[in-house]
Amino acid sequence: MVTEAPGTGADLPVGVPPGRFDWSTPLPQLRALGRVHLVAVGGAGMSAVARLLHGRGVAVSGSDSADSAMVAALRAEGLRVWVGHDAAYLDGVDTVVVSTAIREDNVELAAARRLGLRVLHRAQALAVAVGGMRTIAIAGANGKTTTTAMVVTALRHAGLDPTYAIGGELVDGATNAHLGAGGLAVLEADESDGSFVVYRPEVGVVTSVQPDHLDVYGTVEAVAAGYRAFVTTIRPGGLLVVCADDPGAARLGEWAAGRGLRVVSYGRSAGSSWQVTDLSAVGTRSSALVRGAGGSHRLALAVPGWFNVLNATAALAACCDGFGVDTRAVLAGLGAFAGTRRRFERKGEAAGVVVVDDYAHNPAKVAAVVDAGRGAVADGGALVVCFQPHLYSRTRDFAAEFGQALAGADVVVVLDVYAAREDPVPGVSGQLVADAVEASGGRARFLPDQAAAPGELARLLRSGDLLITVGAGDITRLGPLVLAELDRQKSHSHVDGES
């Protein structure tokens, strides 16, 4: 059993995948970081860390491969950010922060190693930034970003001012990170590389335990062991919140309870501590009856889908059972939740076509998005999904499951694989997913040329249709391009009709 937290000198918890970072390395105090430089600072996770460190008075700089709205925002907040990578940026730097996606041959990381500078993983730097705060850490294959954002919204609505770091931006105008004054921290805990064992939360939430990131863990059994390692880092006297509907999370809860940890469950399953019944989803809204905390409560949300009802119930349990927040205040806050960027985010409407964007990148997430889209599409309209597979290894391992998840759409257009941190794998392309959709009874086509996608999709779409762009890569840029092309085609048709 782990008796000391990773990051405080403990032995590495059993189940953490081996890799480039030792999660048991003792972490420095905030004041010992010196000047900090973050590589790829424009990313969602890295920018959140940069903002929190900057807010706590640390001298922060960063670099990114390309200019972006996030880079501009960080500069406006007083951070020095360069575009491009250069070892010269490390002049005067004491600590360099990177993510797992940064390869060892990156010129800045290589220089940091050569110079003997302190190198921290993004999660380790985040743990330092929130040191001394009471923490909720939300993990899971599906729903962790939305659940984290819901917890933040609920706590703020209850009059608290939590510090937070989320892997996406809140739609209501808030950023992906904020340094609060209440002594509470809410963190999205990423399981993809094992780094979620560094936070030592008072409350841990696990929404699902599913076979993902097999390029890191290797086997399904190793994934489950990784989550057990996360649970061992919850502070003595703390709480684990798990989804009873997810078999892996339910088993994790049983395992944790058997070791004396307080466990609260939620879901539609009988016997859940917070049981969800009477689910209703109409358009972009959803609601349910939730029984828990000594009574029944109506949960009404402004976001669609049964999965968001479950995410909200996880947030309810974490806030009420974890930190003792008033149930009515939490329910009111959840009702005010407007969503997060790239989670069923409405991008606009043109020529009667609504365009939505979503970050889903594993089969369960994709299936949930397709289900929500089916409920939100207008009567008589078609559900069209444009899907960009993320990672060659994930595409190879789960092509059949992606096909089943996507087959519920009326039409699926599959782009080629977004490589992210991987090199191409021979024989692996978006064609595998398109073929799997067809094999599952759906209608699909493979479009390897992403530049042609706006025109192809605009010609395919009709008034009343719903288009969802889905994937964790750069497909998020596609929605506005399709909307512009729809407007252009509509304008041309009007001109042709008048000539």
CA distance 16 to 226: 5
Domain residue limits, the chain = 33-122, 130-335, 345-498
- Crossing angle, helix 306-317 and helix 327-335, to 10 degrees? 150
**Does residue 373 register a pLDDT over 70?**
yes
Confidence of residue 4 (pLDDT cuts 50, 70, 90): very low
CATH topology of domain 345-498: Protein-Tyrosine Phosphatase; Chain A (3.90.190)
Name the nearest CA neighbour of 358 among 157, 188, 146, 124.
Answer: 146
Beta partners for 411?
Answer: 384
State the distance between the two ends of the chain, measured CA to CA, in whole angstroms. Answer: 79
Based on the residue annotation, tell me whether 4 is a catalytic residue of this protein: no
Cα three-residue angle 360-200-220, rounded to 5 degrees? 45
Catalytic member of 108, 188, 401, 485: 188
**Does residue 108 register a pLDDT over 80?**
yes
CA distance 192 to 42: 19
CA distance 437 to 411: 10
CA distance 125 to 62: 14
Yes or no: say if 354 and 320 are a contact pair by the CB < 8 Å rule: no
For residue 18, count other CB atoms closer than 10 A to its CB.
10
**Does residue 12 register a pLDDT over 90?**
no
Q: What are phi and psi of 388, to 5 degrees?
A: -115, 110
Confidence of residue 48 (pLDDT cuts 50, 70, 90): very high
Confidence of residue 174 (pLDDT cuts 50, 70, 90): low
Show the tokens assigned to 284. Answer: 């972009």
Per-residue burial over 50-77, b if 16 or more Cβ lie within 10 Å, else e, is bbbbbbbebbbbbbbeeeeebbebbeee
Pairing status of strand 383-387 against strand 466-470: parallel
Amino acid at 473: G
Mean per-residue pLDDT, 13-23: 62
Contacts of 493 (CB under 8 A, 6+ apart): none
CATH architecture group of domain 33-122: 3-Layer(aba) Sandwich (3.40)
Determine what percent of the chain is predicted with pLDDT higher than 70. Answer: 90
Show the tokens assigned to 194. Answer: 């094992």
Instruction: Give the three-class secondary structure for 476.
Output: helix
Show the tokens assigned to 267. Answer: 């879901």
239-287 tens-digit pLDDT: 999 999 999 999 999 999 999 999 999 999 999 999 999 888 666 778 8
CA distance 291 to 281: 18
- Crossing angle, helix 306-317 and helix 363-376, to 10 degrees? 120
Based on the residue annotation, tell me whether 365 is a catalytic residue of this protein: no
**Considering only 181-190, 200-209, 362-371, 410-419, which range has the smallest mean pLDDT?**
362-371
Name the nearest CA neighbour of 230 among 252, 263, 258, 254.
Answer: 252
Work out whether the CA dihedral 222, 228, 230, 232 comes out positive or negative. negative
Q: Which residue has the higher pLDDT, 95 or 223?
A: 95
Work out whether the CA dihedral 39, 43, 45, 47 comes out positive or negative. positive
Catalytic member of 144, 207, 365, 476: 144
CA distance 204 to 231: 7
Catalytic member of 95, 100, 135, 145: 145
* CATH superfamily placement of domain 130-335: Mur-like, catalytic domain (3.40.1190.10)
Confidence of residue 450 (pLDDT cuts 50, 70, 90): confident
For residue 119, count other CB atoms closer than 10 A to its CB.
17
Based on the residue annotation, tell me whether 469 is a catalytic residue of this protein: no
Instruction: Give the three-class secondary structure for 181.
Output: coil
19-41 tens-digit pLDDT: 678 888 889 999 999 999 999 99
Please report the pLDDT score of residue 216 as a whole number: 67
Contacts of 469 (CB under 8 A, 6+ apart): 347, 355, 356, 357, 358, 386, 388, 475, 476, 478, 479, 482
Pure H helices in 158-289: 214-217, 220-232, 247-257
Name the E strands within 370-499: 383-387, 411-414, 444-446, 466-470
**Does residue 182 register a pLDDT over 90?**
no
Amino acid at 483: L
Work out whether the CA dihedral 354, 465, 390, 6 comes out positive or negative. positive
